Amino acid sequence: MSSVVKIYALFLGSALLLFGGGLQGLLLSVRGAEEHFSLLALGLIGTGWSVGFIAGSVTVPILVQRTGHIRAFSIMAAIGTVTILLNLLWVNDIGWITLRAFSGFCFAGAAMIVESWLNEVAENKTRGTIFSIYTTINMTASTLGQLAMSVTGVTSAIPFVVGAIAFICAIIPTALTSTPQPRPLASAKLDVVLLYKTSPLAVIAAFSVGMANGTFGTLAPVYGHDQGLDAAGIAYLFSVTAVVGAIAQIPFGRLSDRMDRRMVIVFLGAMAAVIGFLMLVTNPQGGWWMYVLFGLYGFSAYPIYAIAVAHANDFAKEGEFGRVAGGMLLVLGTGLAIGPAIAALVMNLYAPVGLFIVTATFHGALALTAFLRMKVRPVRVGGRIRFRPMNAEKGVSPGTVALDPRSDETQEDLPRAAASGSLKPEPSAAPSEEVELIVPDVIEPVVITEKQAGTKPEAPKPETDDVQE
């Protein structure tokens, strides 16, 4: 915890950033509906954010190398502040789509800078704690930003100003910190081919989660507005979804550490598909039933991406975690960009509740695919990299991958397992097959006395399995 206290300024800057981002994301969807933007335009606002985020993940490292981390972070926060204020001054659907792309770009850059800074000061023994605290702070701050809309409303200039204040104040902690600046950022390693060779299911899971969560995060507020909820009701609704989804990551993640992760993905995907179907059938007009269904959606849909990352990492070779996780980011971002646009067309054809056709379809397809993959290649359980919670909707950047302690666990655990002789790949396994590495939990040490050390060792008895040293 002493290491965490030393970098509190970075956590505070990240919290302010996520607070403004959570408020802005929900605000634009609800205010856009108030301004009678078309469903297609509202969907493209979400698409613009995802496109800008991907572009920022790739290009911001170049800016950091030229200007340094503190100046680059200040630039990102300043442009983000100008963007949200222009949302207030330029209330236009095309303008908001364009500005949302700039917002995603700046948010990606700022998140990468903070995460690379955290990664620089984190040691192997503290990396897990820092990563967990960072993830918790991000989820909490984003939820508080959404709740702020219940106080500020959406019709006045207040929520835009509050979001701008949060963005610009995020500069202060990082500018005043005495923590040395980290090494230059590395460009994102986006390798979808390697990801598919490692685990085809991971590609399908990342894309399906992106399509479903991108649709839900962008257009579910519009659905709530159409059902007659006010700004406070929509904020509470999404807060319940976010909180329940964050809490659900821990039990399902730990469960996936003890059994075939694909079984957990099958269960969660099927459950999310059923929730989407129930929304279509009942189409609740507010009330407790809508809160229950939204909470159950977060409970089932939000943990899937982190489990899929862990599943892909289970089969990654030594030193490949960063490239595999980078491929997951690219596939997830593609789904986040395409999903809202497709869902907007479906909602135009049917009704606002039609957005759950998209979520149910992709979650159901994911559950079916995971089930079939289990039939094709059975997998034993044991000696795998541990699950880590991760936000699947927004805020996952290449810096998050570098900060993730599994990056080091993969490189450290595999040589140790190889030295113990526990890695026994099957000769018939092709490179693209999912072959799990089995690492023994405990290796019993053999104590050698001084008398035994000076004598010729006896041959091991056939009926024992003791390790000879």
Cβ pair 50, 336 in contact under 8 A: yes
Determine if residue 154 is left, alpha or beta; phi over 0 gives left, psi from -120 to 50 gives alpha, anything else beta: alpha
Give domain status of residue 448, yes or no: no
Task: Report how many helices (DSSP H) and strands (DSSP E) the chain contains, helices first.
Answer: 19, 0
Q: Is residue 434 part of a domain?
A: no
How many other C-beta atoms can be found within 10 angstroms of the C-beta atom of residue 254? 11
The answer to whether residue 42 is domain-embedded is yes
Would you give the DSSP letter of residue 122?
-
Among 142, 159, 216, 147, which residue's Cα sits nearest to residue 31? Answer: 159
Q: Does position 458 have pLDDT exceeding 70, yes or no?
A: no
Residues in contact with 236: Cβ distance below 8 Å, sequence separation at least 6, in sequence order: 147, 150, 291
- pLDDT bucket at 330, cuts 50 / 70 / 90: confident
Cα angle: 415, vertex 403, 178; to 5 degrees: 125
What is the spatial distance between Cα 154 and Cα 149, in angstroms, rounded to a whole number? 7
In the three-class reduction of DSSP (H, G, I as helix; E, B as strand; rest coil), residue 54 is classed as helix
pLDDT at position 448 is 42
Greater confidence (394 vs 179) lies with 179
Residue 354 is classified by DSSP as: G
Cα end-to-end span (Å), the chain = 39
Taking only the tens place, the pLDDT of each residue in 152-209 is 999 899 999 999 999 999 989 888 877 677 766 655 566 678 778 878 898 999 999 9
Q: Which two tokens stand for residue 177?
A: 């910190």
365-391 residues labelled b (16+ CB within 10 A) or e (exposed): bbbebbeebbeeeebeeebbbebbbbb
Say whether pLDDT at 447 is over 50. Answer: no
* Confidence at residue 163, expressed as pLDDT on a 0 to 100 scale: 95
pLDDT score, position 188: 53
pLDDT at 368 over 90: yes
Domain assignment present for residue 394? The answer is yes
Residue 334 lies in a domain: yes
pTM for this one? Answer: 0.77
- 261-282 vs 231-258: helix crossing angle, rounded to 10: 150
pLDDT per residue as tens digits for the range 25-72: 999 999 999 999 999 999 999 999 989 988 887 888 888 888 888 888
Classify 246 as helix, strand or coil. helix
**How many domains does the chain fold into?**
1
Contacts of 155-163 with CB under 8 Å at 24 or more apart are 155/31, 155/34, 157/88, 159/23, 159/27, 160/27, 160/84, 160/85, 160/87, 160/88, 161/85, 161/88, 162/23, 163/20, 163/23, 163/24, 163/27, 163/84
What is the pLDDT of the chain when averaged over all its residues? Answer: 79
List helix spans (H) across 259-354: 261-282, 288-301, 304-314, 321-349
In tens, the pLDDT along 119-135 reads 777 666 666 677 778 88
Q: Does residue 439 belong to any structural domain of this protein?
A: no
Q: Which of 52-56, 145-149, 394-398 has the highest mean pLDDT?
A: 145-149
294 falls within a domain: yes
Is residue 432 in some structural domain?
Answer: no
Domain that holds residue 215: 2-417
Q: Which CATH number is 11's domain given?
A: 1.20.1250.20
- Listed range (9-23, 196-210, 267-281, 319-333) with the worst mean pLDDT: 319-333
User: For position 5, what pLDDT does the model report?
Assistant: 59
